[in-house]
Amino acid sequence: MTVALERTTPATPATPPAPPAAAHARPARLVLTPETTLAGKLDGAWWPRSRDLAGELPVLVAALAEPWGRITRVTVNPTRWPVIPHKVPVAGHAVHVGWFTEQDPDTLILLSYTVGRWDLLVVPPQTAPAAAARLMAAAAVPGSVLTARALIAAEAVIGRRPDLRNREDAWESEGGARRSDIGSDIGSLARQPVGPLSAGAWW
C-alpha cells in the first residue's frame, strides 16, 4: 500500500468550501508493513488529518476492514488526543476506545477478537508531506526494531539537519529512496525500547 499525498488548490467563489464532514470522507492516509515472517515493532503508519478521534477513526477502521478484518478496540495515549470517546460507530458496529499513559504517545494500537493486534505509528497531522512520507516508509520496514518514539525523534533530527534532508532529496531524485535505506538512516539516529502496558481505561 502506498502513501497518497494530497495537493490542495485554492478555493474560488464559484466553488464553496466543503463542509467539515466531507474531510472525514477522504481516504485514510495509511501504509502497512508487507506480510513477512519478520516481526517488527510496528505494523505500518497512519497520518490522520486532525486529532479528532471520533472523526478520524471511522475512516481508518473502514480502510483496514479488508486487510485486517473487523477492528473491535483501539488504544491511544491521552497526551496526543484532546478528547477520547468511549465508543466510535463504524459501519454498523462500535469500536471501543481506551487509553494507556504507558503506551507510546505516537502509537495507535488496534485489536480484533479473532485476528490479533496491530501497532501503527501515528504521524502528527501537521507534519509536512516530505517528512510524513519518510516516517511512513520507515514504519513499514519489515522486521524493524524501531519504535514510534524513535522514528519521531529521528525525523526531528533530520528536520534540523539540512545535510540529511539533502541526502533524502537526492535519493528521491534518483527514483525514490528504498525502504531499507530510509529505515537504516533513521535507525542510526535513534533506538529506544517500548514499555509494557500496565494501566488504562475502556469506559
Domain-located, residue 88: yes
Tens of pLDDT, residues 11-65: 444 444 443 444 446 899 999 999 876 789 999 999 999 999 999 999 999 999 8
Quickly state the pLDDT bin for 67 (edges 50, 70, 90). Answer: confident
Side chain identity at 164, as an amino acid letter? L
Tens of pLDDT, residues 94-147: 999 999 999 999 999 999 877 799 999 999 999 999 999 999 999 999 999 999
User: What strand order describes the sheet that includes 116-122?
Assistant: 30-32, 44-46, 116-122, 107-112, 73-76, 93-99, 87-90
Domain-located, residue 17: no
Domain-located, residue 16: no
Domain-located, residue 137: yes
Q: Which domain holds residue 145?
A: 26-187
pTM: 0.70
The per-residue pLDDT of the chain, averaged, comes to 76
